[in-house]
């Protein structure tokens, strides 16, 4: 059916479209015949009908008939993007420009000369189909070629957390709250844009406590924040772009972390609070917490066994005031070499230079502002499918107006995948959170040495639900020899969708 009548209605267009969306069974490149007919039609339609055709595309989109619009658009665009083979068979005769709500088709001046070459029959190129003879129809396939696809994936995560100091010298009441995240992951060209909205509804200890109480960043939960609230915030906005086969660039507008472009080399335990360790200390080595905010990072694979990471993030990037901005305020810069000699072993050497940041783990004395020069070594070893061992050691030289500090932390970990059932995870951590081993000037050193002992068991109830009970025992909270051991209990429930 050719559209040549003056009035082009929606019903006529849909009837014509469904009858002409067919494939030529013998056509080598499987070009959609609709594209050819569409080209002929657009040359035969009067200028006023071209206007009405554009309006129909706008109407189709506005009334949410996305399938019809997408199919028709793809068929028209296929004339310009069918590839070299299609270009040899028939010259291009359509100029297509797409806007946000309108598709405009411009007819070239030489329509009459090009129209015969576009008319093709189902059986023989260059001939019209026989009248009255049925034409074989096949399901439409997505056209190939260089095409731009915009796809957004919605994913979410909710944590219900119950945590409490159970015994010992620690002033930490029972608390129950949540952390909710909603992420929009959008494919843009070859890269990925991630937009995360978050509500932080459960707190973690501050570095300062009221007089007469004992608390410390030591033993803080992996999913709590210093200042919980009930407002929705833009927690993360980053764009990840592959550059070649071995390099990835990450640009973040806010709230990124070193783990966005650096391997934390702590598998099974680093679940960003939603899985793995129940403590901030056990989630990942403390060296990575010194790098956060807005900025950029790059990850490059030199060989199958050697990878390098570089990054710079600052928490004041959006503030142009003196003492803030990209270079004037607090920042963290990281460099790491990751070695992967075999599929079961991974090692990392890390250096961080930071100013005005603290890890949020360890004693109060180990979390000052000032400048940090920190070195770390991390390792992970998969002994068997049911056992993985790991650990790290980190040394930080911190300096501020009060003096210099030597800060040390270390840990040994053991993970038991599929313990008691598929998808379950058992974990043990023995270590020492950041502790000031020596200080100069008026800076304070810690008077004691506390061990962090942690055990958790993550039970997978379904693909979207897990529950993790766990215990943390601090032998001398806040690395203070005057404090007796403290026991902290946590139950974490994670919903994902």
Q: Is the predicted pLDDT of residue 328 greater than 90, yes or no?
A: no
Residue scoring higher pLDDT (90 or 300): 300
284 and 377 together in one domain? yes
d(CA 99, CA 240): 26
254 and 169 together in one domain? yes
pLDDT tens-digit map of 146-166: 455 578 999 999 999 999 989
302 and 354 together in one domain? yes
pLDDT tens-digit map of 96-122: 333 333 333 343 444 433 333 333 334
Report the candidate in 198, 309, 293, 314 with the shortest Cα–Cα distance to residue 248.
Answer: 309
178 and 70 together in one domain? no
Q: How large is the average pLDDT for residues 403-427? A: 98
Residue 436 lies in a domain: yes
At 30 the pLDDT is 38
292 and 395 together in one domain? yes
Number of domains the chain is built from:
2
Residue scoring higher pLDDT (105 or 485): 485
Q: Average pLDDT over the chain, rounded to whole?
A: 77
Q: How large is the average pLDDT for residues 335-349? A: 97
At 227 the pLDDT is 66
Report the candidate in 89, 98, 103, 84 with the shortest Cα–Cα distance to residue 42.
Answer: 103
325 and 466 together in one domain? yes
DSSP string of 76-107, one letter each residue: HHHHHHS-HHHHHHS----EEEE-SS-EEEEP
**Is the overall model pTM greater than 0.85, yes or no?**
no
462 and 385 together in one domain? yes
* Angle value at C-alpha 388, between 383 and 392, nearest 5 degrees: 115
At 84 the pLDDT is 38
Report the candidate in 269, 283, 273 with the shortest Cα–Cα distance to residue 161.
Answer: 273
Beta-strand relationship, 151-167 and 465-474:
unpaired
356 and 260 together in one domain? yes
At 97 the pLDDT is 37
273 and 385 together in one domain? yes
Does residue 128 contact residue 2 with C-beta atoms inside 8 Å?
Answer: no
Sign of CA dihedral 116, 122, 124, 129: negative
372 and 237 together in one domain? yes
Select the highest-mean-pLDDT range: 18-22, 106-110, 323-327, 338-342.
Answer: 338-342
Please give the biggest Cα pair distance in the chain: 99
CATH code assigned at 419? 2.40.160.10
Supply the range of the domain harboring residue 43.
10-118
19 and 167 together in one domain? no
pLDDT tens-digit map of 170-196: 877 888 989 999 999 999 889 999 999
* Count of residues making up the chain: 497
């Amino acid at each position: 059916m050719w559209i040549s009548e003056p009035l082009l209605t929606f019903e006529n267009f849909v009837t014509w479209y469904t009858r002409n969306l067919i494939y030529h069974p013998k056509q080598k490149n499987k070009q959609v015949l609709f594209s050819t007919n569409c080209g002929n039609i657009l040359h035969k339609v009067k200028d006023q009908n071209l206007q009405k055709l554009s309006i129909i595309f706008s109407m189709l989109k506005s009334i949410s008939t996305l399938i019809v619009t997408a199919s028709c658009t793809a068929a028209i665009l296929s004339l310009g993007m069918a590839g070299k083979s299609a270009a040899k068979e028939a010259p291009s005769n359509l100029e297509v420009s797409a806007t946000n709500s309108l598709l405009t088709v411009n007819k070239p001046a030489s329509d009459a000369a090009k129209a015969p070459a576009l008319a093709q029959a189902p059986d023989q190129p260059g001939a019209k189909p026989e009248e009255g003879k049925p034409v074989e129809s096949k399901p439409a396939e997505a056209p190939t070629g260089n095409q731009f696809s915009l796809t957004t994936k919605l994913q979410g995560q909710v944590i219900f957390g119950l945590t409490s100091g159970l015994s010992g010298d620690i002033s930490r009441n029972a608390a129950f709250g949540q952390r909710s995240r909603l992420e929009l992951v959008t494919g843009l060209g070859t890269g990925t844009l991630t937009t995360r909205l978050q509500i932080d509804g459960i707190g973690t200890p501050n570095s300062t406590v009221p007089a007469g109480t004992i608390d410390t960043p030591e033993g803080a939960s992996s999913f709590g924040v210093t200042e919980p609230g009930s407002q929705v915030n833009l927690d993360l906005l980053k764009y990840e772009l592959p550059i070649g086969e071995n390099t990835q660039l990450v640009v973040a507008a806010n709230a990124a972390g070193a783990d966005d472009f650096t391997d934390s080399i702590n598998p099974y335990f680093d679940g960003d609070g939603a899985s793995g360790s129940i403590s901030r200390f056990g989630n990942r080595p403390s060296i990575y917490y010194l790098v956060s905010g807005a900025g950029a990072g790059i990850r490059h694979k030199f060989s199958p066994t050697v990878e390098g990471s570089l990054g710079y993030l600052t928490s004041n990037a959006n503030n142009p005031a003196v003492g803030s901005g990209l270079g004037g305020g607090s920042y963290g810069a990281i460099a790491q070499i990751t070695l992967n000699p075999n599929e079961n072993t991974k090692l990392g050497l890390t250096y961080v230079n930071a100013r005005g940041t603290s890890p949020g783990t360890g004693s109060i004395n180990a979390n000052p502002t000032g400048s940090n020069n920190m070195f770390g070594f991390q390792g992970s070893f998969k002994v068997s499918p049911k056992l993985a061992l790991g650990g790290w050691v980190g040394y930080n030289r911190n300096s501020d107006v009060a003096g210099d500090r030597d800060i040390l932390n270390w840990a040994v970990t053991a993970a038991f995948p599929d313990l008691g059932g598929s998808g379950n995870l058992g974990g043990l951590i023995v270590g020492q959170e950041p502790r000031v081993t020596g200080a100069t000037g008026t800076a304070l050193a810690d008077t004691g040495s506390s061990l962090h002992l942690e055990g958790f068991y993550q039970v997978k109830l379904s693909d979207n639900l897990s529950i993790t009970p766990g215990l943390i025992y601090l032998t001398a909270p806040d690395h203070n020899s005057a404090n007796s051991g403290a026991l902290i209990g946590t139950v974490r429930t994670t919903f994902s969708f």
